[in-house]
């Protein structure tokens, strides 16, 4: 297909920037990616993306977009030892006091370290002939035509030179993350600022990488163990990664930050509601020190509500909305936004931003509702509780309980969690009937569900 537009600039070469470039690559003759860091050859954690040291779950929705955009990439990651499998059948989920029913859900996904996934995508993007990377360069600001309000380019300052240069562009995409300067740039250029909302959560992460041995953690791809709100402020995430490793992240909400001192970190793991994480971290060989991260608040910028917006300018990824990382949504939302960008470009550059935001907003709305809905269960989290939220929360607690025994309810729960179905689908008559008619189960259930030792179809025991 001939490419219809001349040049685009993408600011930021992290997950949302790379995925946006992939979306643009079929539409633009030249795409320039501006990135502050000098990008590593391999899968190192770099300064601009410090969160990459921590467990990054990829939702099935994100997996599907990446698998479609980069054919064969998931197989290559699997060959490096990152397990591909059923995210319900091959994974352990302990939430709301019970194990989710482990069964073949058909929801295929991967567990892989964040730097390895980003490096694989970066490699694919660098191989595209119409893409150039300008690394070690600060994005200074976009330029606009004052008369038409259209983007004309983007000013960059390479770190090794004192002079700035302007890159011409028909489209500029800001994928520079949570600290994006777009609100300031748009205001300075006379377009006004987007309204901003935040839900403070004070989440802390502390992560260590361990050696992964066959048979660890019920031979699964990993597990999530979380406490029950409002008292249970702690969670542990264990994700199998390439090269026989486990990425183990302990997290706490509302200021219950996990420590970085080894003994206290293990004690934090031991305080989780079941012993699986503690057993792993006290038996496996640690490969790194413990590193920490603090995440203050869910943050959303409502660009879709702006009265005036420059044509040829877009904002995507964490720069629009950054979610409490506990729900593992950011990379997948960025992937779905890239698809929205791709679709929106099919009908031209004119009117791109309302078309893009109308689509992107739908997925951001859902992910925001899931993340903040769960966060607002903690009384310490400030924010407007929607009317009926107590009743809804009680219903969702039943969903969690029934999902430990009923495959239909369990599958629907994971469809929603993976942004494949809207939360309202948990209230459909087919699901609601099963949720309400079934007696609430007792006890914590079993990490095996309907799976039996040896029945795991693929997983971490593969080299
Ligand atoms: C602790 C933690 C854990 C997380 N866990 C998960 C998870 O489990 N699953 C998940 O899907 N998501 C997770 N996320 C979210 C995920 O990391 C982000 O959603 C994802 O990286 C997409 O962000 P982004 O590309 O929009 O921005 P970022 O990843 O923040 O990248 C921004 C990029 O822009 C560059 N940049 C910034 N400003 C400039 C400038 N002026 N000039 C040039 N370059 C610039 C930076 O160097 C960087 O490369 C987590 C986040 C945190 C904080």
* Residue with tokens 């030892």, as numbered in its chain: 81
Ligand 1 contacts CB of residue 11 (under 6 A): yes
Q: Could you tell me which of 289, 315, 317 has the C-alpha nearest to residue 304? A: 315
Q: Which helix (H) or strand (E) holds 297?
A: strand 291-302
Average pLDDT over residues 71-95: 97
Alpha-carbon distances, residue 234 vs 112, 223, 398 (angstroms): 23, 14, 21
Ligand 1 contacts CB of residue 295 (under 6 A): yes
Query: Rounded distance, CA 248 to CA 240, Å?
Result: 9
Q: Over the chain, what is the mean pLDDT? A: 94
Average pLDDT over residues 235-261: 98
Greater confidence (447 vs 404) lies with 404
Query: Rounded distance, CA 241 to CA 212, Å?
Result: 9
pLDDT of 126 > 70? The answer is yes
pLDDT-derived band of residue 407, with 50, 70 and 90 as boundaries? very high
pLDDT of residue 456: 41
Distance 163 CA to ligand 1 centre (A): 27
Task: Look up the pTM and report it.
Answer: 0.96
Query: Rounded distance, CA 337 to CA 61, Å?
Result: 11
Q: Which helix (H) or strand (E) holds 302?
A: strand 291-302
Q: Which residues touch 109 (CB under 8 Å, ≥6 apart)? A: 58, 59, 60, 63, 84, 85, 86, 87, 418
pLDDT, tens digit, for every residue of 174-224? 999 999 999 999 999 999 999 999 999 999 999 999 999 999 998 999 999
Ligand 1 contacts CB of residue 201 (under 6 A): no
Ligand 1 contacts CB of residue 318 (under 6 A): yes
pLDDT-derived band of residue 1, with 50, 70 and 90 as boundaries? low
pLDDT of residue 352: 94
DSSP string, 129-168: TTEEEEESEEEEEEEEETTTTEEEEEEEEETT-SS-EEEE
Average pLDDT over residues 414-418: 98
pLDDT of residue 448: 72
pLDDT-derived band of residue 459, with 50, 70 and 90 as boundaries? very low
pLDDT of residue 406: 95
DSSP-derived letter for residue 288 is S
Pocket mutation for ligand 1, best pick of 10, 11, 14 (most atoms within 8 Å of C-beta): 14
* Residue with tokens 């040049």, as numbered in its chain: 7
Query: Rounded distance, CA 278 to CA 417, Å?
Result: 25
pLDDT of residue 460: 32
pLDDT, tens digit, for every residue of 297-334? 999 999 999 999 999 999 999 999 999 999 999 999 99
| % the chain with pLDDT above 70 | 97
pLDDT of 355 > 70? The answer is yes
């Amino acid at each position: 297909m001939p490419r219809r537009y001349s040049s685009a600039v993408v600011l930021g070469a992290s997950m949302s920037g790379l995925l946006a470039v992939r979306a643009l690559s079929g539409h633009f003759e030249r795409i320039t990616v501006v990135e502050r860091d000098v990008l590593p050859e391999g899968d190192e954690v770099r300064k601009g993306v410090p969160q990459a040291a921590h467990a990054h779950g990829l939702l099935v929705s994100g997996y599907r977009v990446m698998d479609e955009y980069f054919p064969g990439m998931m197989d290559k990651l699997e060959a490096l030892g990152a397990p591909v499998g059923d995210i319900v059948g091959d994974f352990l989920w302990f939430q709301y006091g019970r194990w989710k029913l482990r069964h073949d859900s058909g929801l295929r996904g991967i567990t892989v370290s964040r730097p390895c996934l980003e490096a694989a995508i970066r490699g694919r993007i660098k191989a595209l002939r119409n893409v150039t990377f300008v690394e070690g360069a600060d994005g200074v600001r976009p330029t606009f035509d004052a008369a038409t309000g259209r983007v004309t380019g983007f000013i960059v300052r390479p770190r090794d030179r004192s002079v700035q240069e302007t890159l011409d562009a028909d489209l500029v995409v800001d994928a520079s993350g949570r600290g994006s300067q777009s609100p300031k740039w748009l205001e300075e250029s006379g377009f006004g600022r987007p309204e901003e909302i935040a839900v403070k959560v004070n989440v802390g992460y502390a992560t260590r990488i361990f050696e992964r041995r066959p048979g660890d953690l019920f031979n699964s791809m990993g597990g999530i163990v979380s406490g029950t709100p409002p008292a249970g402020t702690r969670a542990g995430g264990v994700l199998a990664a390439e090269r026989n490793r486990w990425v183990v992240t302990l997290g706490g909400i509302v200021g219950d930050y996990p420590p970085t001192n080894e003994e206290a970190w293990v004690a934090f793991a031991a305080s989780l509601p079941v012993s699986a994480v503690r057993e792993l971290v006290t038996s496996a060989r640690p490969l790194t020190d413990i590193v920490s991260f603090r995440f203050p608040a869910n943050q959303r910028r409502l660009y879709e509500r702006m009265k005036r917006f420059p044509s040829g300018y877009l904002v995507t990824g964490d720069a629009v909305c950054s979610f409490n990382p506990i729900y593992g949504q950011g990379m997948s939302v960025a992937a779905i936004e890239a698809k929205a960008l791709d679709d929106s470009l099919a009908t031209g550059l004119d009117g791109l931003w309302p078309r893009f935001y109308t689509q992107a907003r739908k997925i951001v709305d859902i992910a925001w509702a899931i993340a903040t809905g769960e966060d607002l269960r903690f009384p310490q989290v400030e924010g407007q509780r929607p009317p009926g939220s107590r009743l809804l929360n009680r219903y969702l607690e039943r969903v969690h309980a029934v999902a430990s025994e009923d495959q239909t309810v369990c599958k629907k729960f994971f469809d929603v969690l993976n942004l494949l179905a809207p939360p309202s689908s948990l209230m459909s008559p087919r699901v609601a009937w099963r949720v309400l008619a079934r007696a609430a189960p007792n006890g914590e259930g079993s990490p095996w569900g309907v799976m039996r030792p040896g029945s795991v179809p693929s997983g971490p025991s593969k080299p």
